[in-house]
Homo-oligomer: A and B are copies of this chain.
Amino acid sequence: MSQLHLGVFDILTPNQMTQGLWAHPRNESHRYNTLPLWIEIAKLLERGKFDFIFFADSYGYPDNNAELALREAVYAPVADPMLLLSALAASTTHLGFVTTASPTFEQPFANARRFSTLDHLSEGRIGWNVVAAGGTSAAKAFGREDTLGHSERYDQADEFLEASYKLLEGSWQDDAVVRDKEKRLFADASKVHVVRHEGRYFKLEASHACEPSPQRTPVLFQAGSSERGRDFAAKHAEGVFLKAPTQEALRDQVADIRRRAEAHGRDPRDIKIFSGLSAIVGRSREEAQQKEAEYRAYRSREAALLTYANATGIDLDALDPDAPFTGISTERGRSHTERYTRHSGSVQTVRQVADNFADKEFRGIRLVGTPEEIADGMQEWAEATGIDGFNLERYLLTDTLRDFVDMVVPVLQERGLFRREYEESTLRERLFGAGNRRLPDRHPGAAFRNLAETDKAR
């Protein structure tokens, strides 16, 4: 088995996966909008040789029950993670940073400028989680009635990426910047091309604002679980986040992604696949179980169901608890339902579905035990499913991460499953090996490297 890749999945808001846990006395997540907390975490993760920290983000918030959402800090308030990254880059030398931006709400030119700036400032340690974001609350925040339908949002994201590739890969040739002070030649304009994009959703005419950064296109991540989302991921993504309730289901999803990648002309190994991992570790199993019980005591069932309603459009609390749960017919609900409730084998009651969700929420693989038991579980899941790594989900900031770094990482290293030292410098090289700073030639973004069809000069 090859070495694992490890990330941390987080968000700049008090609760992440377990609603209500913000209130735990040792949870420092209420400091989500302060620099010292995240700098401490970034340094901790670098000490633990993690590949990256990944920040989810959304312009939306649960607007169907503001009283509850604000009382329990259910994705509100939230801060913009992109603006945190240069501070973390300055505090570390190897850790990667993945942040979220959505084609639904951004513009290709400004978005490309942001990611190129971050890739320069971090010297090639940036990834972009592409989210074809939906939801009415975010739409209304931008003055729209709603976002596009689910499938059309992926068409929009597809076109957004095409425009982004043109800017990031095609506008400046590798040798455009000369920076020769004696010859008085900063850049050779014959090697800087104007992008002229006119599609269904986006239009632009500009050369990219930024000179080529170490990675050019940031490492692309995606987490869509729907049919269309998986196909989008298989085409574009270099890192994919999957969640499934069983090893069989996860293995099937992994195989499906790799098969689809091949159909898109890519090497199936060009995608690193991650599963969410919620690990509660103790020096003994009892200690771990005690921690788990302690964390569970802070859970808010109603707040958990609010996140379910927010994701699926179905308010389980409003349904007859004894009625059979027949699935979800709303478009945005379907993929979530498939992910979280479908693999139960038989028809459940609404109460069972609610209980099940309130127990697991959106967490991925859950492991509780000693460092060795956690490592055993990770190894078993990786071997059984073909995933490449895990994305650690917090219970407490910073305890969950510290426990993992101090206790589990050494065991993984001992078993040869995880790096002891950083060897590569950019995020893409960390995932795909030294020398792979740029998108591989078989990636669809590489097709836009030669913008011969556009003007040679601006």
Contacts and interface: CB of A to CB of B under 8 A. Distances in A.
Interface string A236-249: 00000000000000
Nearest to A109: B141
A23 B187 CA distance: 12
A418 interface: no
B142 A71 contact: no
B184 A79 contact: no
A105 interface: yes
Interface in A181-219: 181-182, 184-190, 192, 198, 202-207, 209-211, 213
A185 B67 contact: no
Contact of A117 (B83, B91, B181, B458): B83
A85 B80 CA distance: 13
Given A87-B90, A143-B202, 16 more contacts: A12-B117, A20-B184, A22-B181, A23-B184, A39-B90, A70-B186, A70-B189, A73-B186, A77-B187, A79-B113, A80-B114, A80-B209, A82-B83, A83-B86, A109-B142, A140-B206
Contact of A458 (B59, B66, B79): B66
Interface in A29-71: 30, 33-35, 39, 59, 61, 63, 66-67, 69-71
A116 interface: yes
Contacts of A33: 117, 120-121, 210-211, 213
A211 B70 CA distance: 11
A169 interface: no
26 contacts: A20-B184, A23-B182, A24-B181, A30-B186, A33-B121, A59-B110, A61-B207, A67-B190, A70-B176, A70-B188, A71-B186, A71-B189, A72-B186, A77-B209, A78-B209, A79-B113, A79-B117, A79-B209, A79-B210, A80-B117, A105-B110, A107-B143, A140-B204, A140-B206, A141-B206, A143-B202
A329 B82 CA distance: 42
Interface of A: 12, 14, 20, 22-25, 30, 33-35, 39, 59, 61, 63, 66-67, 69-73, 76-80, 82-87, 89-91, 105, 107, 109-110, 113-114, 116-118, 120-123, 137, 140-143, 172, 176-177, 179, 181-182, 184-190, 192, 198, 202-207, 209-211, 213, 300, 457-458
B114 A69 contact: no
A72 B23 contact: no
Contacts of A110: 59, 105, 142
Nearest to A209: B78
A177 B14 CA distance: 12
A97 to B, nearest CB: 11
A140 to B, nearest CB: 4
Contacts of A91: 90
A120 B30 contact: no
Given A34-B120, A83-B86, A121-B34, A457 B67 contact: yes
A125 to B, nearest CB: 11
A209 B184 CA distance: 47
A157 B325 CA distance: 51
B205 A141 contact: yes
A35 B86 contact: yes
A304 B181 CA distance: 18
B187 A79 contact: no
A192 B83 CA distance: 24
